[in-house]
Amino acid sequence: MPRTPNSGRSYADMKSDRALKLPQEVLYVKNGRGGTWWSSAKENNQLHLGWKETPANLIKSRDLKAIEPQLRAAFDNQGAATRDLNQLSYALASPSHYIWVTVEQGFLWWCTVNDEPVINPKGESSNEGNFWLTCALPWRNTALNGKLLAVSDLPGGLTMTSAFRSTICVPREAAAIRRTILGEVDKDAVQASEIRVAYEKSLEKLIQRLTAKDFELLVDLILARTGWVRTSFVGKNREGVDIEAENIAANELAFVQVKSSANQATLIDYIHRYEQRGENYDRMIMAVHSPQDSMKVPDTATGVQLWTCEAIAKLSVRLGLGAWIESQLA
Protein backbone atom coordinates (compact mmCIF):
# COMPACT_ATOMS: atom_id res chain seq x y z
CA MET A 1 0.00 0.00 0.00
CA PRO A 2 1.58 3.37 -0.99
CA ARG A 3 2.23 5.88 1.75
CA THR A 4 2.20 9.65 1.77
CA PRO A 5 5.60 11.35 2.24
CA ASN A 6 6.73 11.56 5.89
CA SER A 7 3.25 10.98 7.27
CA GLY A 8 3.44 7.26 7.99
CA ARG A 9 -0.13 7.03 6.71
CA SER A 10 -1.30 5.09 3.66
CA TYR A 11 -3.34 6.82 0.96
CA ALA A 12 -6.27 4.63 2.00
CA ASP A 13 -5.91 5.97 5.54
CA MET A 14 -5.82 9.53 4.23
CA LYS A 15 -8.89 8.97 2.07
CA SER A 16 -10.85 7.77 5.07
CA ASP A 17 -9.62 10.78 7.04
CA ARG A 18 -11.30 13.12 4.57
CA ALA A 19 -14.64 12.02 5.95
CA LEU A 20 -13.57 13.15 9.43
CA LYS A 21 -15.11 16.27 10.86
CA LEU A 22 -12.06 18.11 12.14
CA PRO A 23 -12.39 20.72 14.90
CA GLN A 24 -13.26 24.23 13.78
CA GLU A 25 -10.56 26.00 15.80
CA VAL A 26 -6.77 25.89 15.50
CA LEU A 27 -4.06 26.35 18.14
CA TYR A 28 -0.33 26.72 17.67
CA VAL A 29 1.90 24.91 20.18
CA LYS A 30 5.61 24.63 20.88
CA ASN A 31 6.70 21.24 22.16
CA GLY A 32 9.24 22.63 24.61
CA ARG A 33 11.45 25.72 24.40
CA GLY A 34 12.86 25.80 20.88
CA GLY A 35 11.04 22.54 20.10
CA THR A 36 13.29 20.47 22.38
CA TRP A 37 10.47 17.97 23.05
CA TRP A 38 9.45 17.66 19.41
CA SER A 39 11.33 14.44 18.64
CA SER A 40 9.65 12.59 21.48
CA ALA A 41 6.26 14.15 20.71
CA LYS A 42 6.42 13.17 17.03
CA GLU A 43 7.78 9.68 17.65
CA ASN A 44 5.17 8.83 20.28
CA ASN A 45 2.27 10.87 18.84
CA GLN A 46 1.99 13.09 21.86
CA LEU A 47 1.77 16.80 22.52
CA HIS A 48 4.33 17.65 25.23
CA LEU A 49 3.82 20.48 27.71
CA GLY A 50 5.54 21.80 30.83
CA TRP A 51 4.26 23.70 33.91
CA LYS A 52 6.24 21.42 36.21
CA GLU A 53 5.57 23.75 39.16
CA THR A 54 1.85 22.97 38.96
CA PRO A 55 0.87 19.97 41.14
CA ALA A 56 0.45 16.83 39.06
CA ASN A 57 -2.87 15.94 40.69
CA LEU A 58 -4.37 19.29 39.61
CA ILE A 59 -3.20 18.79 36.02
CA LYS A 60 -4.51 15.24 36.02
CA SER A 61 -7.91 16.36 37.33
CA ARG A 62 -7.87 19.42 35.04
CA ASP A 63 -8.91 21.54 38.00
CA LEU A 64 -8.32 25.03 36.65
CA LYS A 65 -10.01 26.69 39.63
CA ALA A 66 -7.48 25.11 41.97
CA ILE A 67 -4.60 25.77 39.55
CA GLU A 68 -5.27 29.51 39.30
CA PRO A 69 -4.24 30.52 42.87
CA GLN A 70 -1.18 28.26 42.59
CA LEU A 71 -0.07 30.05 39.44
CA ARG A 72 -0.79 33.53 40.77
CA ALA A 73 1.21 32.78 43.88
CA ALA A 74 4.15 31.63 41.76
CA PHE A 75 4.28 34.84 39.68
CA ASP A 76 5.17 38.35 40.76
CA ASN A 77 3.87 39.54 37.41
CA GLN A 78 0.14 38.87 37.40
CA GLY A 79 -0.04 39.50 33.67
CA ALA A 80 2.34 36.56 33.17
CA ALA A 81 0.22 34.46 35.54
CA THR A 82 -2.91 35.25 33.50
CA ARG A 83 -1.08 34.37 30.27
CA ASP A 84 0.00 30.98 31.63
CA LEU A 85 -3.47 30.28 33.03
CA ASN A 86 -5.00 30.99 29.61
CA GLN A 87 -2.57 28.63 27.94
CA LEU A 88 -3.22 25.89 30.48
CA SER A 89 -6.94 26.40 29.90
CA TYR A 90 -6.44 25.56 26.22
CA ALA A 91 -4.44 22.46 27.17
CA LEU A 92 -6.72 21.17 29.93
CA ALA A 93 -10.30 22.38 29.47
CA SER A 94 -11.23 20.81 26.11
CA PRO A 95 -8.07 20.25 24.04
CA SER A 96 -9.92 17.83 21.75
CA HIS A 97 -11.88 20.81 20.40
CA TYR A 98 -8.82 22.08 18.48
CA ILE A 99 -6.53 21.20 15.64
CA TRP A 100 -3.04 21.56 17.12
CA VAL A 101 -0.28 22.76 14.81
CA THR A 102 3.44 23.34 15.12
CA VAL A 103 6.29 24.25 12.78
CA GLU A 104 9.31 21.95 12.63
CA GLN A 105 11.86 21.00 9.95
CA GLY A 106 10.38 23.48 7.47
CA PHE A 107 6.88 21.99 7.61
CA LEU A 108 3.58 22.61 9.33
CA TRP A 109 2.67 19.56 11.44
CA TRP A 110 -0.79 19.02 12.86
CA CYS A 111 -2.73 16.61 15.04
CA THR A 112 -5.81 16.31 17.22
CA VAL A 113 -5.65 15.11 20.82
CA ASN A 114 -7.65 13.34 23.50
CA ASP A 115 -8.81 15.35 26.51
CA GLU A 116 -7.09 13.36 29.29
CA PRO A 117 -3.60 14.64 30.20
CA VAL A 118 -0.90 12.07 31.01
CA ILE A 119 1.63 12.94 33.72
CA ASN A 120 5.22 12.06 32.82
CA PRO A 121 6.24 9.49 35.47
CA LYS A 122 9.89 10.49 35.01
CA GLY A 123 9.17 14.20 35.30
CA GLU A 124 10.11 16.96 32.90
CA SER A 125 13.48 16.62 31.14
CA SER A 126 15.36 18.02 28.17
CA ASN A 127 13.65 15.42 25.96
CA GLU A 128 10.11 15.24 27.39
CA GLY A 129 7.55 17.53 28.93
CA ASN A 130 6.08 17.42 32.41
CA PHE A 131 2.86 16.06 30.91
CA TRP A 132 1.45 15.32 27.49
CA LEU A 133 -1.77 14.93 25.57
CA THR A 134 -2.11 11.75 23.51
CA CYS A 135 -2.84 12.28 19.82
CA ALA A 136 -6.23 11.15 18.51
CA LEU A 137 -5.06 11.82 14.94
CA PRO A 138 -1.24 11.47 14.78
CA TRP A 139 1.18 14.23 13.87
CA ARG A 140 1.54 14.63 10.12
CA ASN A 141 2.93 17.20 7.70
CA THR A 142 0.44 16.55 4.91
CA ALA A 143 -3.05 17.87 4.23
CA LEU A 144 -5.99 15.49 3.98
CA ASN A 145 -5.48 15.45 0.21
CA GLY A 146 -1.88 14.26 0.70
CA LYS A 147 -0.17 17.57 -0.14
CA LEU A 148 3.00 18.33 1.84
CA LEU A 149 2.55 21.35 4.10
CA ALA A 150 5.81 23.18 3.41
CA VAL A 151 5.99 26.43 5.39
CA SER A 152 7.02 28.29 2.22
CA ASP A 153 3.59 27.46 0.73
CA LEU A 154 1.54 28.51 3.76
CA PRO A 155 -0.02 31.82 4.89
CA GLY A 156 2.64 34.35 5.87
CA GLY A 157 1.11 34.95 9.30
CA LEU A 158 2.13 31.45 10.33
CA THR A 159 5.82 32.38 10.23
CA MET A 160 5.11 35.23 12.63
CA THR A 161 3.14 32.89 14.90
CA SER A 162 6.01 30.38 15.04
CA ALA A 163 8.21 33.15 16.49
CA PHE A 164 5.74 33.59 19.39
CA ARG A 165 7.59 33.04 22.68
CA SER A 166 4.80 31.44 24.68
CA THR A 167 3.81 27.77 24.51
CA ILE A 168 0.28 28.03 23.08
CA CYS A 169 -1.46 30.70 21.02
CA VAL A 170 -4.20 31.21 18.45
CA PRO A 171 -2.56 31.68 15.03
CA ARG A 172 -3.35 34.88 13.16
CA GLU A 173 -4.12 32.84 10.04
CA ALA A 174 -6.09 30.12 11.85
CA ALA A 175 -8.92 29.89 9.29
CA ALA A 176 -6.48 29.77 6.36
CA ILE A 177 -4.39 27.10 8.10
CA ARG A 178 -7.47 24.95 8.68
CA ARG A 179 -8.49 25.30 5.02
CA THR A 180 -4.99 24.28 3.99
CA ILE A 181 -5.09 21.18 6.22
CA LEU A 182 -8.48 20.24 4.75
CA GLY A 183 -7.10 20.75 1.23
CA GLU A 184 -9.61 23.52 0.55
CA VAL A 185 -9.01 26.69 -1.47
CA ASP A 186 -10.00 30.18 -0.37
CA LYS A 187 -13.23 31.21 -2.18
CA ASP A 188 -11.89 34.70 -2.90
CA ALA A 189 -8.72 33.17 -4.36
CA VAL A 190 -10.82 30.91 -6.60
CA GLN A 191 -12.86 33.89 -7.80
CA ALA A 192 -9.70 35.91 -8.49
CA SER A 193 -8.24 32.99 -10.45
CA GLU A 194 -11.37 32.67 -12.56
CA ILE A 195 -11.30 36.41 -13.32
CA ARG A 196 -7.60 36.20 -14.25
CA VAL A 197 -8.25 33.29 -16.65
CA ALA A 198 -11.11 35.23 -18.26
CA TYR A 199 -8.85 38.27 -18.66
CA GLU A 200 -6.15 36.11 -20.26
CA LYS A 201 -8.70 34.83 -22.78
CA SER A 202 -9.75 38.42 -23.57
CA LEU A 203 -6.11 39.41 -24.11
CA GLU A 204 -5.63 36.53 -26.56
CA LYS A 205 -8.17 38.17 -28.88
CA LEU A 206 -6.43 41.55 -28.58
CA ILE A 207 -2.97 40.08 -29.16
CA GLN A 208 -4.15 38.48 -32.41
CA ARG A 209 -5.27 41.92 -33.60
CA LEU A 210 -1.93 43.65 -32.94
CA THR A 211 0.05 44.89 -35.92
CA ALA A 212 3.21 42.96 -36.74
CA LYS A 213 5.29 45.84 -35.34
CA ASP A 214 3.31 45.99 -32.08
CA PHE A 215 3.46 42.22 -31.69
CA GLU A 216 7.24 42.31 -32.06
CA LEU A 217 7.37 45.06 -29.46
CA LEU A 218 5.18 43.02 -27.07
CA VAL A 219 7.54 40.04 -27.34
CA ASP A 220 10.46 42.41 -26.81
CA LEU A 221 8.79 43.75 -23.62
CA ILE A 222 8.18 40.21 -22.33
CA LEU A 223 11.81 39.32 -22.92
CA ALA A 224 13.01 42.45 -21.15
CA ARG A 225 10.80 41.85 -18.11
CA THR A 226 12.01 38.25 -17.77
CA GLY A 227 15.68 39.18 -17.70
CA TRP A 228 16.58 39.17 -21.40
CA VAL A 229 18.48 42.11 -22.89
CA ARG A 230 18.06 42.61 -26.64
CA THR A 231 21.46 42.70 -28.34
CA SER A 232 20.16 43.39 -31.86
CA PHE A 233 17.40 45.65 -33.16
CA VAL A 234 13.91 44.41 -34.01
CA GLY A 235 13.57 44.40 -37.82
CA LYS A 236 17.27 45.11 -38.41
CA ASN A 237 18.78 41.76 -37.51
CA ARG A 238 20.76 39.19 -39.44
CA GLU A 239 18.76 37.10 -41.87
CA GLY A 240 16.38 34.65 -40.19
CA VAL A 241 16.66 36.18 -36.72
CA ASP A 242 14.10 38.74 -35.56
CA ILE A 243 15.49 39.29 -32.07
CA GLU A 244 18.76 38.26 -30.48
CA ALA A 245 18.65 38.51 -26.70
CA GLU A 246 21.02 37.79 -23.85
CA ASN A 247 20.27 36.73 -20.28
CA ILE A 248 23.34 37.93 -18.42
CA ALA A 249 22.50 36.15 -15.14
CA ALA A 250 22.03 32.80 -16.89
CA ASN A 251 24.87 33.48 -19.35
CA GLU A 252 22.61 32.52 -22.26
CA LEU A 253 22.06 33.89 -25.74
CA ALA A 254 18.64 33.37 -27.34
CA PHE A 255 17.59 33.13 -30.98
CA VAL A 256 14.05 34.60 -31.07
CA GLN A 257 11.58 34.38 -33.93
CA VAL A 258 8.43 36.54 -33.93
CA LYS A 259 5.72 35.55 -36.39
CA SER A 260 2.13 36.77 -36.59
CA SER A 261 1.33 33.57 -38.48
CA ALA A 262 3.23 30.32 -38.96
CA ASN A 263 2.74 26.58 -39.17
CA GLN A 264 4.48 23.42 -38.00
CA ALA A 265 6.71 23.36 -41.09
CA THR A 266 7.91 26.89 -40.30
CA LEU A 267 8.71 25.87 -36.75
CA ILE A 268 10.70 22.82 -37.90
CA ASP A 269 12.59 24.95 -40.42
CA TYR A 270 13.68 27.43 -37.76
CA ILE A 271 14.58 24.66 -35.33
CA HIS A 272 16.96 23.32 -38.01
CA ARG A 273 18.48 26.79 -38.39
CA TYR A 274 18.87 27.09 -34.63
CA GLU A 275 20.52 23.67 -34.40
CA GLN A 276 22.93 24.59 -37.20
CA ARG A 277 23.95 27.66 -35.20
CA GLY A 278 24.17 25.67 -31.98
CA GLU A 279 27.57 27.04 -31.05
CA ASN A 280 26.16 30.59 -31.09
CA TYR A 281 22.87 30.17 -29.20
CA ASP A 282 21.71 28.49 -25.99
CA ARG A 283 18.00 28.50 -26.73
CA MET A 284 15.40 29.35 -29.33
CA ILE A 285 12.04 31.02 -28.78
CA MET A 286 9.35 31.18 -31.46
CA ALA A 287 6.43 33.51 -30.70
CA VAL A 288 3.32 33.05 -32.89
CA HIS A 289 -0.09 34.54 -32.14
CA SER A 290 -2.08 33.01 -35.04
CA PRO A 291 -0.75 29.55 -35.99
CA GLN A 292 -2.05 28.10 -39.26
CA ASP A 293 -2.19 24.60 -37.83
CA SER A 294 -1.39 22.70 -34.65
CA MET A 295 2.18 23.51 -33.66
CA LYS A 296 4.32 21.52 -31.26
CA VAL A 297 8.02 21.43 -30.43
CA PRO A 298 9.38 17.93 -31.21
CA ASP A 299 10.58 15.96 -28.20
CA THR A 300 14.00 15.71 -29.80
CA ALA A 301 14.46 19.50 -29.93
CA THR A 302 16.27 20.78 -26.86
CA GLY A 303 16.33 24.38 -25.69
CA VAL A 304 13.35 25.31 -27.87
CA GLN A 305 10.27 27.15 -26.60
CA LEU A 306 7.05 27.83 -28.51
CA TRP A 307 5.09 30.84 -27.29
CA THR A 308 1.53 30.52 -28.58
CA CYS A 309 -1.05 33.24 -28.15
CA GLU A 310 -2.27 31.54 -24.97
CA ALA A 311 1.22 31.49 -23.48
CA ILE A 312 1.87 35.10 -24.48
CA ALA A 313 -1.41 36.23 -22.88
CA LYS A 314 -0.50 34.47 -19.62
CA LEU A 315 2.96 36.02 -19.61
CA SER A 316 1.47 39.43 -20.36
CA VAL A 317 -0.86 39.23 -17.35
CA ARG A 318 1.88 38.00 -15.01
CA LEU A 319 4.24 40.74 -16.20
CA GLY A 320 1.70 43.58 -16.06
CA LEU A 321 1.48 44.16 -19.82
CA GLY A 322 -2.28 43.89 -20.14
CA ALA A 323 -2.87 47.66 -20.07
CA TRP A 324 -0.17 48.17 -22.73
CA ILE A 325 -1.88 45.67 -25.04
CA GLU A 326 -5.23 47.37 -24.49
CA SER A 327 -3.73 50.78 -25.27
CA GLN A 328 -2.54 49.62 -28.71
CA LEU A 329 -6.14 48.94 -29.75
CA ALA A 330 -7.94 51.67 -27.82
User: From first to last of its 330 residues, what are the pLDDT tens digits of the chain?
Assistant: 344 444 445 444 545 555 568 999 999 999 998 889 999 999 999 999 998 888 889 999 998 898 888 888 877 777 788 888 899 999 999 999 999 999 998 899 999 999 999 999 999 999 999 999 999 999 999 999 899 999 887 766 666 666 666 789 888 888 888 988 998 777 787 888 899 999 999 999 999 999 999 999 999 999 999 999 988 755 554 545 578 899 999 999 998 999 999 999 999 999 998 888 767 889 999 999 999 999 999 999 999 999 999 999 999 999 999 999 999 997
Nearest-CA neighbor of 51 among 81, 76, 21? 81
What is the pairing mode between strands 107-119 and 252-262? unpaired
Handedness of CA 231, 233, 239, 242 (dihedral sign): positive
Model pLDDT, residue 5? 42
Model pLDDT, residue 81? 82
Query: Hey, which bits of 44-93 come out as E strands?
Result: 46-49
CA dihedral 290, 293, 296, 298 (to 10 degrees): -130
Q: In which element (H, E) is residue 39 found?
A: helix 38-44
Q: Count CB neighbours of 201 within 10 A.
A: 11
Please give the domain boundaries of the chain with CATH numbers for all domains.
11-184 (3.10.590), 189-329 (3.40.1350.10)
Model pLDDT, residue 71? 80
Cβ pair 31, 39 in contact under 8 A: no
| pTM of the complete model | 0.60
88 phi, psi to nearest 5 deg: -65, -35
Cβ pair 210, 198 in contact under 8 A: no
Model pLDDT, residue 40? 95
Q: Residue count of the chain, please give it.
A: 330
Nearest-CA neighbor of 219 among 250, 259, 252? 259
**How far apart are the C-alpha atoms of 235 and 218, rounded to whole Å?**
14
The upper half-sphere exposure of residue 126, i.e. CA atoms within 13 Å in the direction of its Cβ, equals: 0
Cβ pair 310, 330 in contact under 8 A: no
